[in-house]
A = this chain, B = another copy of it.
Amino acid sequence: MQASFTEENYLKAIYHLSEEGRQQVNTNRIAMVLNTKPASVTDMLKKLSEKNLLNYTRYQGVSLTDPGRNIALKVIRKHRLWEFFLVEKLNFGWDEVHDLAEQLEHIQSVELINRLDSFLGFPEYDPHGDPIPKDNGTIKCYDLKPISALHVGETGTIAGVREHSPLFLQYLEKMNLVIGKKISMEEVIAYDETVVITTENNQKINISKAAAKNILITI
């Protein structure tokens, strides 16, 4: 039961969408993230439903079946392992690897990806802090909070991001707000909800409300 390049992308997108909001995933949203048109999505949903990779009833949205979810997780595993490889071995920046991984994630070979995993030392997280699914289909469900959820005086460690655009990642890099950094909440400016945080070396940094929502921490 091999899924095509395009089918894999649909399954992955639907998986990601059902992670964020827990309701049914709707057609327009899928079209948006896949950069395509709703009519095309409907066609594909019918096909994937036919193949039993998702549950689909007209006008009702979709959810993945177990086989569908499994394929999605395999693709995500490949995506994140390749991203790790690109950053750790080829010295790419964390803002440069996503598009490349979008291509590499479709290379078909279980043996290859398991050897890559081993070569990389079985990493648990990708360069953006996202957990890497295991070969058996398990994935750590991590619950991180955005910085904006911290109360004044509380402390946390940066562990992930909610947005993966190069612009955002470059900005974080420049501010040295990278995975593993300890920060604490200083105050929230009443005027525009700008967040002020302090780093380990007592540096104060101002972060916009939008940015603070997209930086994830553990406590």
Cross-chain contact B104 with A107 (CB below 8 angstroms): yes
Cross-chain contact B100 with A115 (CB below 8 angstroms): no
In the complex, chain A residues 100-119 whose Cβ is within 8 Å of any chain B Cβ: 100, 103-104, 107-109, 112, 115-116, 119
Cross-chain contact A91 with B115 (CB below 8 angstroms): yes
Chain A interface residue bracket vs B: 10 to 19
In the complex, chain A residues 114-148 whose Cβ is within 8 Å of any chain B Cβ: 115-116, 119
Cross-chain contact A103 with B92 (CB below 8 angstroms): no
Which residue of B90, B107, B108, B112 contacts A116 across the interface (Cβ within 8 Å)?
Answer: B90
Binding site for B on A (CB under 8 A): 86, 89-92, 100, 103-104, 107-109, 112, 115-116, 119
Starting from the known contacts A90-B112, A103-B107, 13 additional A-B residue pairs (CB-CB under 8 Å) come to: A86-B112, A89-B119, A90-B115, A90-B116, A90-B119, A91-B115, A92-B115, A100-B107, A100-B109, A100-B112, A103-B108, A103-B109, A104-B107
